[in-house]
Amino acid sequence: MPNGRFFLDFTRKLEVIKWFGVRNRYIGPAVDLLVPVVHEAEKSGGYVIGVNVGDPYFRDLRKLWRTHFPSSPATVRQEADGLKIIADFATQFPDDCQPPNA
């Protein structure tokens, strides 16, 4: 997104969801990722976005984490307030704000 306010957060671990009859974190092929993101005016991120194996960036994200994790946090001049961060997240990632099965 050209005016995105969130960036990949290499200070936190990428969570890989696998499938072996049920979704789990331990065995089977990777089917989903929970990708940590951080707001440009946030010292430490708390949000993740979901990425499915069918997404064209699925493999690229895993490679990026192997290369860049762990990284030092970026410095922030002034932190944004919580409502600003929530609003920016909903604007940039509307699909990740939907309740399940919506």
**For 5-15, how does the pLDDT look when each residue is reduced to its tens digit (9 = 90+)?**
999 999 999 99
Query: Ranked by mean pLDDT, which of 1-10, 56-65, 78-87, 92-101 comes out on top?
Result: 56-65
pLDDT in tens, 25-72: 999 999 999 999 999 999 999 999 999 999 999 999 999 999 999 999
Alpha helices by DSSP H, listed for 1-102, are 58-68, 82-92
pLDDT band at 101 (very low <50, low <70, confident <90, very high): low
Dist CA 60 CA 35 (whole Å): 12
